[in-house]
Amino acid sequence: MPKNPPESMQHHLCRRLNRHARERWPHVEGITVRFRAGFAYVAAQLPGEKSLPLCRLRFTGVLHTWGFALFLAGDNTYRDTLLPSGLPAGSPEEALDCAGDVHLGALAPGIRVPAGLVVLVGPPASGKTSFVRALIGRRQIDAEGVVSSDEIRAELLGTSPAEAASDAADARIFEERDRRIIARLAAGHTAVAESTNVTPQARARLIAIARRFNAPVTMLRFNPDLPDLLQQYAERGRTDLTAADVRAYAAVMARDAGVDQLRSEGATAVHDVPGRRQATTPAEAAARFFFA
C-alpha cells in the first residue's frame, strides 16, 4: 500500500491550500485535507459546518507536484483529470483552482468591481470579447467604456494586412488605446482594456496609466483548458492567427499571468472568469460581476 507523505509535508500542504483559498476562494471557511494510502483528500469547509469534497491529490514524492483527481458529485467518486496546463499533475494551488472552478464557483457571492481600470488577461479565443458583449448586453457597462485594441486596429487601418502588422501600426494602435483609457479615467469612469495582456510588459503600461489617476486595477483572467481554447479558436474561424499562435499565447499566459504574478505587479484584485470548463456561458459569467 502506498505510504502517506511525511507529517511535515502533510502540514505544509494543508497550510499552502488554506493560504491560497483565503485569496482565491474567500467565501470558503477553510480547507481540510485527509491523508490515506498515499492520497490527500481535499474538501472545502462551508458556512453551517458543511463539508464539500473537491479533489484527491496523489503524492508523487515531490513536495510541489501532486497528481490530480477531480471529485464527481454525481458518482461520489474521484476521477483522474488533466489540469488546465494539460498535465495530470501540478502544484496544489493549480489543483485547488481547477476543483474550485467546478465546485465552488457557483457558490461564490457576486464580485463587485470598483470604478477604475479593468484589464482583461487571456489568449486569443479565450472568451474576452464574448464576455464583454454579455456585460454590455446586460447594461452592466457602457460600450464606450470598452477599449479594444482589435477594434482600434480596424478603425485606423481597415483590413490591410501588411500595414496592420507593422511596428508603426502597433505604436499607433496602442497610443490611441492609451489616449482613450486616460480620457475615461480622468473623467472618473471605468475603462475596460480588452486585449490579450498576457505579458508583464503589456500590463505594466496599463498599470502605469491607472496609477496616474490613483485608479484601482482589477484584472480578469480568461484561462480555459488548452483543448477548449483550441476548440473556441476553431469555432471562431479566425484567419489572422494560427493554432500555433494561440498555443504560444496560452504558454505565455501559463508562465507569466498567474494570480500571484498579477497581484505582485500591482493589481488591486484578480478574478478568474468562468467559461466552458465550468459549463458557464458568457452571459452567466457576466451575471457574477457587478460594476460600479
What is the per-residue pLDDT for 106?
A: 67
Does residue 43 sit in the same domain as residue 157? no
pLDDT confidence band for 139 (50 / 70 / 90): confident
Q: What is the DSSP letter of 42?
A: E
Does residue 246 sit in the same domain as residue 157? yes
Does residue 70 sit in the same domain as residue 118? no
Does residue 83 sit in the same domain as residue 182? no
Residue 2 belongs to some domain of the structure: no
Phi, psi of 2 (to 5 degrees): -60, 145
Q: Which residues of 85-122 are buried (b: 16+ CB within 10 A; e: fewer)?
A: beeebbbbbbbbbbbbbbbbbeeeeeeebebbbbbbbb
Does residue 116 sit in the same domain as residue 101? no
The boundaries of the domain holding residue 75 are: 7-107
User: pLDDT by residue (tens digit) across 11-45?
Assistant: 999 999 999 888 777 778 899 999 999 899 999 99
Chain centroid to CA 241: how far? Answer: 22
Does residue 123 sit in the same domain as residue 170? yes
Does residue 22 sit in the same domain as residue 53? yes
Does residue 137 sit in the same domain as residue 211? yes
| pTM exceeds 0.85 | no
End-of-domain residue from the set 76, 107, 138: 107
What is the per-residue pLDDT for 3?
A: 81
Residue 168 belongs to some domain of the structure: yes
Cα distances from 168 to residues 160, 164, 175, 240, in angstroms, run 14, 9, 11, 18
Does residue 131 sit in the same domain as residue 76? no
pLDDT at 159 over 90: no
* Domains in the chain, number: 2
